[in-house]
Structure 1
């Protein structure tokens, strides 16, 4: 395999890792936001 092919595969792997971590963080942020919204709405109903 040529160096260019190895470089492309490495870049694809790095981008895939970045996107996976980004989506994991977004899911975490979404769950935290939902918990905060639920806490605020339960305080308002009291």
Structure 2
């Protein structure tokens, strides 16, 4: 079953992206390098609660 998650920038904490993940196969939090329009560069984005 897919679960909706929000990705937040690790630098400025702005919530920029929303995606879905399979919670049964990926129980840990997602981390991905994505573009943050607030910071103006590619930064690490982590899954938030």
TM-score normalised to structure 2 length: 0.18
TM-score normalised to structure 1 length: 0.18
Structure with a larger share of its residues in strand: 2
Structure with a larger share of its residues in helix: 1
